[in-house]
Chain A
Amino acid sequence: MTNPENTPTITNTTTEGKGLTEYEAKIYDRSIRLWGVDAQAKLRQSKVLFIGINGLMSEIIKNVVLAGVDSITLVDDHIITSADLSAHLFITEDSVGKVISTESVFAIGELNPLVTIDVYDKEIETMDDQFIKNYTIVVMSDKNLNNVSKINSLCRKNNVSFMFSHSFGLKALFFSDLNEFKYFIKKPTEPPTTETHTSIFKSFKESMGYDWSKTNNRTPLPFFALSTLYQFEEKHNRVPDNISDSDLFELKSIVNSSIEKFNLKNVEPNKYFDETKDLLNKINVEISPVCAIIGGIVGAEIIKVITQNMQVLNNFFFYDGIKGTGLVEQF
């Protein structure tokens, strides 16, 4: 996939790496052999904010903590129920009734004692520029797409990388907005040079308003469904209720008006509506293998964003556990 804004310019860039201890060199031996010492040094200087500590996020956190970031902050005051145990890595039966963020701290700490863990115990509405600027990247999982858009805007304004990921039963997706993302590819020339590449991202809000007429009637179902849910939430400022007839009726009319607006011929409106309904029905349903798959892919993307030494995915990914496909789309 070639990206028009992705033309390389060759420069000699200056980066400074802080030293790693001998113990770190041993612990991270295999990953250093893959992504290099400079990348490992960047990881240990990075701070990651996680909003929404569900099962999928526990997978992402595990991967990022093992990779060796400096510190992470958890945001989620949800009270744990038995059903939360389905795909979660940091809680047990004894955790039921407790607050998920604080309850997760101990198990995360065991994964890698070199990483500092904090909990932010206030509402996400209280996050401001000053707060968000502390982080290298913000990763979010939320069924409320208005919240996603809000945090994304805050990150964008402060030039902080942002990722959103959510699973829906056998399906899962992630979105990333890295604003203007630069990455550096080392070339083994004599003397060694570095190629600087830039990828331009869109905000969540902008992507959700995508002009589907450009997709030539090959509009991918899951992304269309997501944007349908988003339009509903933008209007009503809440997540639609999957057992409310009036909500479902309105979702159907959003689907129909989009089909008309973008002149999407040769498609069955029912297929789009069914996909929307399916996502909505599974919006709280997490199963372990799907969380592991999407969590692994998001984890790898976070590491790429921090280390800036490789091309990243721009800007949506969708995994479908029924078909087994994992597609990258740009909207």
Chain B
Amino acid sequence: MSERYSHIIEVLGQSTFDKIQTCKILVVGAGGIGCELLKNLVLTGFKNIDIIDLDTIDISNLNRQFLFRKQHIGMSKAKIAKESVLKYNELVNITAHHGDVKSIEFGSEFFKKFDLVMNALDNISARRHVNRLCLSVDVPMIESGSAGYLGQVSVIRKGITECFECQPIAVPKQFAVCTIRTNPSAPIHCIVWAKMLFGKLFGPKDDGDSSSLTDLDNDIIHGTEELGNIKRDEKLSIEKEKGFNRWVFHKIFHTDIETLIHMPDLWKDKQPPTSLLLDEILTSKQEQDKKEVEKIGDQLIFTLPDQKQWSFKENVEVFLDCLEKLKQQQLQQNGKPMTWDKDDELALSFVCSASNIRSNIFGIPMKSRFDVKSMAGNIIPAIATTNAVIGGLIVIEAIKIVDGRFDQCRSTYLYQLPSGKRLLMPVEIEPQNPKCFVCNRSFITCRLNTEKITIGQFIDQVLKKTLALNEPILTVGTDIIYEGGDQDLSKEEIEQRSKIEKKTLATHRLTNDTSLIVEDYNQDFQVTINIQHTTDFDEDVKKLKKQKQKEIDEKEGKTTLEKEKEEDDKFFEIIGKSTIQTSQPTTTTTTTTTTSTIDTNNKDSVVEDDDDFMFIEDIPSATTTTTTTNTNATESTTNKKRKEIDTDESEDLESSKKLKSNLQD
């Protein structure tokens, strides 16, 4: 054998090294952390490695994903990573899979083959998926993440440590529909709207949220037929004659805005928007260009071309141009639906210009293309140095795991600046949460209005977005009432499934106190949800509540927080004991900005055992299947962990407590 392993054998001993050589590893993700990790693994002597990644290489990866070169742009990350890492050590067997870890081919049978799984992922939904599979086949897993200078590594082992979902997970921030459509107050609201507009104009026809954004042919500004007071925008049909881009511009920046202006209730406390006419803008004088190098004080601030703010007129011109080009592009591809991609220059310019024009209409500051890319693409800047540290820490934990020293495994945090004296902080890993609905199969309760919420909304928002199911199968009693997934379906079956999606829960057997079993074969996962009917989330009830709260607040001299305005959209609540309240009271306020509140205080209403469940009588019903609606789950690149790694302060408190009892220098 080559002398190349002499150091590692000297440090770890022959028997540990032998285990390293025989152990079979799965690395999920060949991006920033993945590249670093793979290099460390092959140098340390790990020999049997599978890599999965669905992504291809982009130019912005090259500053840190060091296994990739300029000539690899557009190629599979998994495959190139395999090729490149062999240079560091030829004596290894690597299998590269260019695919989605959530797809059926990587189910529990696949996961069973491995002794250890390492997550190097960039999104929560895939992390939750891998967590469930590892628990199901009882394979230990190392979880990791990085954001800027911060990073974290932890170990998950069924029955010994907490799992990835034992603590509340921050669902990526979503905004209320009314904030996006009628009442934006910040640049991000207009950016989200612009992305929806892209989906509406160029995406798939039945793209849930976007399809109802605007109806290009509708010229009604105000009034109803019954009352006979309809006011129409006569100019819309004229603009339509002048071409696609002028038509779209007029509809969204004039007709739709006029409609909003005619809703006086909206503008009691704030300035109404101003509708635009294209001809007026195009004939106006071009504003003075801002200089590329600005001077602030005596300081020269250097900016990139992308950081330069476009003038309003430039935005309008870019918008018209992008519309035209995107339309052409789609025609050339035979009308194939497009998905928005932050790295597609044209798609980015479209969102940037559209959001800026809308911002301008609502008196919101405009943003540069550079900033819009960050916000629209949820970019969390990643750098090589942090990923290098994390890639090393993962292998340190892996060595303990192959050695069977689970008691010595730690969660390690990398800080930007030392906390006390610690830049790297190891803390003991929490034991499993007995109330976790994932690793302990604990029941959860979902409160919502069963008479208003549709099966489709329930599946999309509750099951997929909040509970991270991929292809859910819903069973009540012994009847399957809905089957997700993309199996070979007939046209009729697809139609039948979409029909069910439009039904309310109550009309489809999901009434108050129903015990619903949700399964996902892909994840080898099952959860029982107790459905509870409530009107608490109805608009009028919420309004009333809010008003009362406002009155109380006013009495006490408090001002209503901006955050509270944004959670109007919440239509359900999950009560699961998977979510024990942590010591910091601040967690509650941060979770209120998400669509769902994972309630942690309301312990009384949680179902403790089977006896509390009332099974409804079996009613024969047709078993139906439908296509999965594309939830675009991978779009969000947030890699916040359950304990968010950017909330240093609260974390310090918690972990320093642990440190005192567990670790000494």
Q: Give the residues in chain B near A313, CB-CB below 8 Å.
A: 418, 423
One of A129-137, A142-150, A322-330 at the interface: A322-330
Q: Does A311 contact B (CB under 8 A)?
A: yes
- A203 CB to closest chain B CB (Å) equals 22
Contacting residues, chain A, for B87 (C-beta < 8 A) = 92
Query: Within A3-22, which residues are at the interface with B (CB < 8 Å)?
Result: 12-17, 19-20, 22
Q: Does B333 contact A (CB under 8 A)?
A: no
Closest to A14 in B: B298
User: What are the interface flags for B27-46 relative to A under an 8 Å C-beta threshold, 1 for contact and 0 otherwise?
Assistant: 00000000010011001100
B379 with A289: CB separation less than 8 A: no
**In angstroms, how far is the closest chain B Cβ from the Cβ of A44?**
12
Residue among A19, A63, A170, A323 with max Cβ neighbours from chain B (10 Å): A63
Residues of B with C-beta under 8 A to A282? 11
A295 lies within 8 A of chain B by Cβ:
yes
Task: Give the Cβ gap from B519 to chain A, nearest Cβ, in Å.
Answer: 39
Question: Is A99 close to B, CB under 8 A?
Answer: no
Residues of A within 8 A of B489 (CB): none
Query: Given the interface contacts A82-B2, A170-B11, A328-B418, does A300 sit within 8 Å of B385 by beta carbon?
Result: yes
| Contact present for B418 and A26 (CB under 8 Å) | no
B6 at the interface (CB under 8 A from A): yes
The tally of residues in A whose CB lies under 8 Å from a CB in B reads 78
Task: Assess the B384–A63 pair: CB atoms within 8 A.
Answer: yes
Roughly how many angstroms separate A69 CA and B357 CA in the complex, as a whole number? 39
Query: CB within 8 Å of B: which of A289-320?
Result: 289-293, 295-297, 299-300, 303, 311, 313, 317, 319
CB pair A324–B396 under 8 Å, yes or no, is yes
| A127 on the B face (CB < 8 A) | no
Residues in chain B near residue A14, CB distance under 8 A: 298-300
CA distance in complex: A31, B418 (Å): 22
Give Cα distance in the complex from A204 to B7, angstroms: 28
Contacts A34-B381, A38-B302 known; A297 to B7 CB distance under 8 Å? no
- A30 and B64 contact, CB distance less than 8 A: yes
Partner of B60, one of A15, A30, A85, A111: A30
B385 and A326 form a contact (CB under 8 A): no
Q: Say yes or no: A87-B43 contact (C-beta < 8 A), given A285-B11, A296-B385, A297-B389.
A: yes
The answer to whether the Cβ of B619 comes within 8 Å of any Cβ in the partner chain is: no
Number of interface residues of B (CB under 8 A): 75
- Which residue on chain B has the smallest CB distance to residue A184? B299
State the Cβ distance, B86 to closest chain A Cβ, in Å.
10
User: 1/0 per position for B391-435, CB-CB distance to A under 8 A?
Assistant: 111111001000000000010101001101111111000000000
List the A side residues contacting B391 at CB < 8 Å: 289, 292, 296
Residues on B with C-beta less than 8 A from A66 are 63-64, 66, 384
Which residues of A lie under 8 Å from residue B417 when comparing CB positions? 311
Over the window 62-75 of chain A, the binary record of Cβ atoms lying under 8 Å from chain B Cβ atoms (1 yes, 0 no) is: 11001110000000
| Docked pose: A98 CA to B70 CA in angstroms | 29
Other-chain contact of A33, B44, B59, B301, B381 (Cβ < 8 Å)? B381
| Minimum C-beta distance from B184 to chain A (A) | 23
Q: Say whether B220 faces chain A, with CB atoms less than 8 Å apart.
A: no
How near does chain A come to B663, taking the closest CB pair, in angstroms?
7
Task: Render B285-304 as a binary contact track against A, CB cut-off 8 A, 1 for contact.
Answer: 00000000000111111111
Q: Do A300 and B60 form a contact, CB below 8 Å, given A324-B410, A325-B663?
A: no
Chain B residues in 8 Å Cβ range of A15: 299-300
Q: Are B379 and A326 in contact (CB under 8 A)?
A: no
Complex Cα gap A321–B394 (Å): 12
B423 nearest in chain A by CB position:
A326
**Which of A29, A295, A319 has most B Cβ within 10 Å?**
A29
Asked if A321 and B396 make an inter-chain contact with CB atoms under 8 angstroms apart, the answer reads yes
Tell me whether A289 and B424 are in contact in the complex, defined as CB-CB below 8 angstroms, given that A25-B306, A63-B385 are known contacts. no
Q: Please report B residues at the A interface, Cβ cutoff 8 Å.
A: 2-8, 10-12, 36, 39-40, 43-44, 59-60, 62-64, 66, 69-70, 87-90, 148-149, 296-307, 370, 374, 379, 381-396, 399, 410, 412, 414, 417-418, 420-426, 663, 665
Q: A27-B63, A288-B8, A288-B392 are in contact. List 17 more A-B contacts (CB 8 A).
A: A1-B418, A1-B420, A13-B299, A33-B379, A37-B302, A62-B388, A66-B66, A82-B2, A113-B70, A169-B7, A285-B11, A289-B392, A296-B392, A300-B386, A311-B417, A323-B426, A324-B424
* 18 pairs of residues in contact across A and B, judged by CB atoms under 8 Å: A12-B298, A20-B304, A68-B63, A85-B89, A285-B10, A287-B7, A288-B392, A289-B392, A290-B392, A292-B39, A293-B393, A296-B387, A296-B391, A300-B386, A311-B417, A324-B424, A327-B421, A327-B422
Ordered nearest first, which 8 A-B pairs have the shortest CB separation?
A: A326-B424, A292-B392, A296-B388, A324-B426, A17-B302, A82-B3, A296-B389, A293-B392
